[in-house]
């Protein structure tokens, strides 16, 4: 499932390829990913429009049209954007999994590829209103340290559950939450209320460091810095810190990968 770093990489890719180009034609080979929206409605909303800007909120990506409306993209599992010359479409093996294609006036297209058809596309009037309606917490890279600390002070349950609660923070998933807790040396079942003030602030700084490192690596686990769990986040792999075995455990009903030596159970 794409998490905040993946969606930020998608955002930068779209910014570099698809801004300020006029949409001439829209097709939807897999219209089931359109949420409360028909293909004709999508086409009428987009044709003649340009994508002027983008904004990410957690795992959601919003593309601003010059009409003032926004195209909201949720990538679900295995979805991603692809930009290419329209004339090469028939030679692109993955094109059979395209759910929606926007054809631009420069003879290129942007495809929303969704192999498992779990992504979603919507039209919205305002990203912030949409986030409120969806009960999304602040973006994990946009939240300030004091706000983060206050949410932890009011929080309940285990640390992994807190980090993955999209009503508290938007954007963190299984992988990034595991990495943050590995860097902290804390078990995912450790209770939020057990953290002291300095530990809450340390968790915030580690969250930002992990997200920024992941984005710098292009959301490619194999390019993560030495000492990170993500490239070894599999049962039986060796811990990059102590050499012990990585294990899969359950914490408040959630699956987590940890090093039992470095992250002892509370």
CA-based nearest residue to 127, from 35, 74, 63: 63
> Can you tell me the distance from the alpha carbon of 14 to that of 21, in angstroms, rounded to the nearest whole number?
11
Task: Examine the residue annotation and report whether 64 is marked as an active-site residue of this protein.
Answer: no
Catalytic residue among 11, 21, 56, 59: 59
Give the pair of three-digit tokens for residue 8.
């930020």
**What pLDDT, on the 0 to 100 scale, is given for residue 20?**
97
| pLDDT tens string 113-146 | 999 899 999 999 999 999 999 999 999 999 999 9
Q: What is the rounded CA–CA span in Å between residue 113 and residue 101?
A: 9
Per annotation, catalytic residue among 69, 232, 254, 261: 254
List all residues 6 or more positions away from 205 whose beta carbon is below 8 Å from its beta carbon. 145
**Helix, strand or coil, per DSSP, at residue 73:** strand
Residue 251 pLDDT more than 90? Answer: no
On the question of pLDDT at 252 being above 80, the answer is: no
pLDDT, mean over the chain: 96
Q: Under 8 Å CB-to-CB from 195, ≥6 apart: which residues? A: 152, 159, 203
Name the band, by pLDDT with cuts 50, 70 and 90, for residue 77: confident
In this predicted model, what pLDDT tens digit does every residue of 145-168 receive, in sequence order?
999 999 999 999 999 999 999 999
Whether 3 sits among the annotated catalytic residues: the reply is yes
Residue 1's pLDDT band, with cuts at 50, 70 and 90, is confident
**CB hemisphere CA count around 187 (13 angstroms):** 16
* Packed helices 145-154 and 197-216: angle between N→C axes, nearest 10 degrees: 120
Tens digits of residue pLDDT in 21-70: 999 999 999 999 999 899 999 999 999 999 999 999 999 999 999 999 99
Residues 6+ apart with CB under 8 A from 150: none
Question: Strand pairing of 120-124 and 254-258?
Answer: unpaired
């Amino acid at each position: 499932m794409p998490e905040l770093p993946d969606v930020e990489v998608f955002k930068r890719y779209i910014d570099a390829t698809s801004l300020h180009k006029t949409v001439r034609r829209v097709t939807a080979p897999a219209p089931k990913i359109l949420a409360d929206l028909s293909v004709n409605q999508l086409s009428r909303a987009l044709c003649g429009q340009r994508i002027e800007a983008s904004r990410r909120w957690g795992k959601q990506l919003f593309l601003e049209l010059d009409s003032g409306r926004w195209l909201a993209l949720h990538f679900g599992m295995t979805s991603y954007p692809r930009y290419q010359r329209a004339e090469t479409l028939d030679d692109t093996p993955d094109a059979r999994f395209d759910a929606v294609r926007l054809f631009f006036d420069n003879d290129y297209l942007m495809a929303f590829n969704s192999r498992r058809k779990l992504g979603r596309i919507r039209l919205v009037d305002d990203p912030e209103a949409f986030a409120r309606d969806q009960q999304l917490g602040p973006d994990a890279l946009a939240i300030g340290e004091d706000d983060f600390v206050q949410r932890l002070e009011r929080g309940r349950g285990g640390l992994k559950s807190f980090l993955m609660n999209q009503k508290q923070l938007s954007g963190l998933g299984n992988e990034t939450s595991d990495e943050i807790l590995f860097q902290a040396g804390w078990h995912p079942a450790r209770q939020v209320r057990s953290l002291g003030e300095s530990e809450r602030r340390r968790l915030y700084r580690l969250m930002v460091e992990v997200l920024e490192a992941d984005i710098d690596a292009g959301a490619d686990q194999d390019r993560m810095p030495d000492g990170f769990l993500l490239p070894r986040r599999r049962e039986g792999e060796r811990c990059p810190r102590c050499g012990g075995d990585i294990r899969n455990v359950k914490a408040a009903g959630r699956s987590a990968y940890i090093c039992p030596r470095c992250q002892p159970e509370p």
